[in-house]
Amino acid sequence: MAQGIPDEVLMNSALMKELAEAAKDAAALHGVLMRIQETPNSTELVTYAPFTLFPTPVPKAVFLQALAVQTHYNTLVDKISQDPEFLQEALASTIEVDDFTARLFKIHQQILKEGRSQSIVLGLNRSDYMLDQKDDGSSSLKQIEINTFAASFGGLSSRTPDVHRRILQMAGRLEESQRILDNNPAAGLARAVAKAWELYGSERAIVMFLVEENQRNIFDQRYIESELWKRNITTKRKRFDDVCKTGYLDQDKRLFVDGQEVAVVYFRNGYMPQNYLSEQTWDARLLMERSLAVKCPDISTHLAGTKKVQQVLARPGVLERFFPNQPQVVEQIKATFAGLYTLDMGPDGDKTVEMALADPDRYVLKPQREGGGNNIYGSEICQVLQRVKGTAERTAYILMDKIHPAPVKNYLLRRDAPLQIRNCLSELGVFGTYVRQGEDMVMNECVGHLLRTKNSEDSDGGVAAGVAVLDNPLLY
C-alpha cells in the first residue's frame, strides 16, 4: 500500500480480525451509524455505516488542489443559476427527450415568468473527483460531477477521522494516526443554512428538511440538524406528502407547512423521477419554488447541476463567459475537467457515437440522473448507443472519459460481509457552501471533504446505493 500500511500488516489475518472488531465498535462509539435495510424507518435497530478498515493514501498536492478550487465551483454554479439564456441553450436538446429534466425546466420557466419571490440563495454543493493515474506514476485530479442537490455524507464524514485514528493507533501506526485530518462538513453546512435562516428574518420560522419515505441514512442528516439546534434554530423533517396535504402560501408568499412558517427548505428528496409519485408531488415542488422560503437548491441551481450542463461547460470559451478577465480561475477549474463529449444530433454527436462504439472501455455513458448507480460502462455502452444512435433519444446522455485511479489494497467493513482484502478505488468529494442575497455574496466557503472507496470490480454506485464505503484520506 503506497505511502500507507505495509503488506505484511495487511496480510496478518489475526491482527486484521482484531482490528475489524475494534473498528466496528469505534464506529458505533463515534456515531458512524445507519438504520438497517430491514427497518429503514426505525432507529430501534442500527448498524455501523460501511467504511474502510484503514485510511487511503492521497497525494497532498491534489487534495489541496481540490479544496482550493471549491469556492470557484460555488461561484460557477451560482452564476449559471442566474443565467437563464445559458440554461435554455445548454438544456435545449435534453428537455426534448428527457421528461424529468423537462418537468424541472418547466417549473424554472414559470418561476422566471412570475419573478423570483426570494433574493436569498443558499447552495450546499459537493464536487466529486477521482485521481487519474499517469504512466509516470503521477496522478491528476479529474472531476466526476458536481452535486447541487442533497449532497450527502457531510454528517458521517465528520465522525470517521476518530475511527481511523483509533485503528492506526491499535495497529502501532502512531505517525499515520496523526496525519488523519480533522474534518467537519456538518458544521460548515449548518453554518450556511443558519446564515440563510438568519437573513430570512423570522425567529419563529423553521428549517424544513424535505426527506424521502425511507430514511436509512438519517444520522448523516441528524448531525446537520444538531448543529442547527445548537443555534436555537428549529428543524422539522417533512415529506412531499406533508407539503401536499398542509402546505400553502399566504398573501406575502410565505410558506406554511403543518401550520409553521418555513424559512428554509433543505431538499434531501426530489432529485430522481421516482421521488415524484403523483401530480400532487410536482404541485408541491412548484408551491415551494414559488414561496418566499429560501430553497436549497432552488430550481435553477438544481438544473445547474445536470450532467448536460457539466458537458457544455467543457466546451472552449464557455467558462470565460462566467469568469471574464479571470484567466487564473478559468485555468484552475479547467485543470479538473475530464474529457466530456456531446451526443446532440449533428456531426459532433455522430463523432462521439462512433468514438464510443469503437472503444467503449475508454468511456462512461451518463444519463441526466443523480443518486448513484445510473452510469453505463463497457459493452452496455454499445447496446445503448446502437439502440439510440440514430434518434434524438441519445441527447439524454453525455459521454465522458473513464478515469483510471491507482488501486490500493484495503478491507471494506460491511454488515454481514466477510473480511477480505480487496483492490480498491477511491473518489474524493469536497463540500462547498455559499449564501447570496441579491447581488451580494454573503458567504462562499469550502467546508470539508468526503472520501468514498469501493472494490475495483464494482463500476458504479455510492455509499447509500450499497457499493462504496466511507473512508479518510491519509495525505502524503
What residues contact residue 44 under an 8 Å CB cut-off, 6+ apart?
none
What residues contact residue 243 under an 8 Å CB cut-off, 6+ apart?
210, 257, 284, 287, 288
Which one of 195, 238, 268, 307 is the catalytic residue?
307
Residue 128 corresponds to which amino acid? D
- Please confirm, yes or no, whether 452 is among the known catalytic residues: yes
Q: How far is CA 252 from CA 16, 118, 243, 297, 312, in A?
A: 61, 11, 18, 21, 38
- Percentage of the chain beyond pLDDT 70 is 98
- Please confirm, yes or no, whether 254 is among the known catalytic residues: no
Q: Are strands 473-475 and 56-58 parallel, antiparallel or unpaired?
A: parallel
**Interatomic CA distance for residues 173 and 413, integer angstroms:** 20
- Please confirm, yes or no, whether 427 is among the known catalytic residues: no
Identify how many contiguous H helices and E strands the chain contains and give both numbers: 17, 21
Nearest C-alpha neighbor of 233 from the set 324, 294, 289? 294
Q: Are 133 and 405 in contact (CB under 8 A)?
A: yes
Reduce the DSSP state of residue 178 to 3 states and report it.
Answer: coil
Lookup: cell for 393: 433519444
Which one of 81, 452, 462, 472 is the catalytic residue?
452
**Interatomic CA distance for residues 476 and 469, integer angstroms:** 21
Tens of pLDDT along 175-223? 999 999 999 999 999 999 999 999 999 999 999 999 999 999 999 999 9
Q: What is the DSSP string of 114-132?
A: H--S--EEEEEEEEEEEEE
Q: What is the DSSP string of 23-74?
A: HHHHHHHTT-EEE-TTSTT-SSSEEEPPEESSPEEE-HHHHHHHHHHHHHHH
| Whether the predicted model's global pTM rises above the 0.75 cut | yes
- Please confirm, yes or no, whether 183 is among the known catalytic residues: no
Which one of 74, 81, 127, 147 is the catalytic residue?
147
Structural domains in the chain?
Answer: 7-338+403-475 (no CATH), 339-402 (3.30.1490.50)
CA 379 to chain centre: 27
Which one of 339, 371, 372, 461 is the catalytic residue?
371
The whole-number pLDDT of residue 370 equals 75
Lowest mean pLDDT among 136-150, 308-322, 330-344, 459-473: 459-473
Neighbours of 256 (CB within 10 A): 16
- Please confirm, yes or no, whether 202 is among the known catalytic residues: no
The whole-number pLDDT of residue 374 equals 83
Which one of 212, 227, 289, 370 is the catalytic residue?
370
Residues 11-39, mean pLDDT to the nearest whole number:
97
Residues 387-413, mean pLDDT to the nearest whole number:
93
Kindly indicate the confidence band of residue 458, based on its pLDDT and cuts at 50, 70 and 90: confident
Element (H, E) at 256: strand 255-257
In the beta sheet, which residues pair with residue 21?
none
Average pLDDT of the chain is: 95
The whole-number pLDDT of residue 1 equals 41
Residues 78-101, mean pLDDT to the nearest whole number:
96
Lookup: cell for 426: 477511491
The whole-number pLDDT of residue 460 equals 65
Kindly indicate the confidence band of residue 135, based on its pLDDT and cuts at 50, 70 and 90: confident
- Please confirm, yes or no, whether 13 is among the known catalytic residues: no
Which one of 4, 81, 125, 145 is the catalytic residue?
145
Residues 310-315, mean pLDDT to the nearest whole number:
95
Lookup: cell for 414: 460491511
Tens of pLDDT along 354-399? 999 999 999 999 988 876 778 999 999 999 999 999 999 999 899 9
Q: Are 63 and 428 in contact (CB under 8 A)?
A: yes
**Interatomic CA distance for residues 3 and 476, integer angstroms:** 7
Phi, psi of 453 (to 5 degrees): -130, 145
State the chain's maximal CA–CA distance in angstroms: 70
Q: Is the pLDDT of residue 290 over 50?
A: yes
Lookup: cell for 193: 443554512
**Interatomic CA distance for residues 154 and 73, integer angstroms:** 18
Which one of 285, 366, 422, 436 is the catalytic residue?
366
Q: Are 63 and 183 in contact (CB under 8 A)?
A: no
Kindly indicate the confidence band of residue 4, based on its pLDDT and cuts at 50, 70 and 90: confident
Tens of pLDDT along 118-129? 999 999 999 999
Which one of 127, 139, 152, 291 is the catalytic residue?
152
